[in-house]
Structure 1
Amino acid sequence: MFNIGFRGSPFIRDEENLLLGRLEGFGLHEDFWSPLDYWQEEQYEVQWRQGIQRVLDGKISALIVSMRDPELSNFIDWWLLYAFEDQVIFQNQMLFLQNLRAPFNTDDIYTSIRPYRRHNLEGEALSEWRVPKCALQDFMK
């Protein structure tokens, strides 16, 4: 089973409008807080479906779970998706915007995805989930 979606209603915390979301895949789950000041709930959901379809088409992809105005923010929280044979590898990362060669483009977010790496610069294994492609295909139905 695979699922990504929102749970409950938006609320204000530290003057920021937030919505609780959850990513689930084969016994694992990760809760996240999505700010609603720059993107609304529907924009996240549209991007998630586009991102999932993209990885099912064999391309590197991402699911943004925390999007703030890139001109005012330091980072974006996203899950990178890499297709390998009959599985999709998920890696949760913070995209630090000041490290990009060009400004982050919300119309073409996928150009900011780095190639797949199993280890970080220090040689430590990155945390990742592996989910069968068929679970993502079922989600898209």
Structure 2
Amino acid sequence: MIDDPVSEGATPSSSDAVARIRVGSFTETFLMDLSFWSVDEYRRSWESALREIEFSETATSCLIASITDPEASNFISCWPMYRDGDVIHVQNSLIFLDELDERFDPQEPWRYVQPRCEVDEDGNRISEWVTSASEVRQFRESAWGL
């Protein structure tokens, strides 16, 4: 299951929000920058990303963890999601904007996620967590009432 993207710490005058992702027994708290997107924009992005992964058995999607203005940024922090049947693998990653062949579209961040790898270029296993499509659907429906 994936928790609400913003669970605490956001105020109208703050520049960051404390957020949390939970996948199975794994939980991580992180800061989301609010200089480009509001809390509601992060929530809308997460809802779209969860729909993207939910409605295809081989989809790739991602939850944006933190974004600043793509025109002035080097990277976007995200949680890529890779679906294989009912299994969804979740990793932590960066999208390096200067490596893209086109302008980054924050409304479809999954277009810029690299294919799933289990080891990095140095041969180290990439940390990932597993959840199910049904858990993602249950969360999306309960979080957004859809």
Question: What residue ranges of structure 2 are gaps of 5+ in the alignment?
Answer: 142-146
| Deviation of 1:81 (Å) | 0.5
Instruction: Give 1:39's match in structure 2, choosing from 7, 12, 37.
Output: 37
**1:43 Cα shift?**
0.6
Assess if the C-alpha contact under 8 Å between 2:5 and 2:46 holds in 1: no
Distance across 2 between alignment mates of 1:47 and 1:11: 19
Letter matched to residue 137 of structure 1: R
Q: Which residue of 1 aligns with 2:94?
A: 94
Aligned to 1:9: 9
- 1:50 maps to which of 38, 45, 48: 48
Q: Deviations over 1:48-71 (max 9, x none)?
A: 011011111122100001010011
Cα deviation for residue 115 of structure 1 reads 1.4
Q: Does structure 1 residue 75 correspond to structure 2 residue 78?
A: no
Question: Which string of whole-angstrom CA distances, capped at 9 and with x for unpartnered residues, describes residues 60-108 of structure 1?
Answer: 1000010100111111100001001221000110112122222212243
Give the match for residue 112 of structure 1: 112
Q: So what's the TM-score if we normalise by structure 2?
A: 0.86
Structure 2 residue aligned with 1:27, among 19, 25, 28? 25
Q: Give the distance between the partners of 1:114 and 1:32, measured in 2 at CA.
A: 22
**Letter of the structure 2 residue corresponding to residue 103 of structure 1:** R
Q: Which residue of 2 aligns with 1:131?
A: 131
Coordinate RMSD, CA, aligned: 1.9
TM-score, structure 1 as length reference: 0.89
Return the alpha-carbon distance in structure 1 between the equivalents of residues 68 and 98 of structure 2: 14
Which structure features the higher share of strand residues? 1
Letter in 1 for 2:121: L
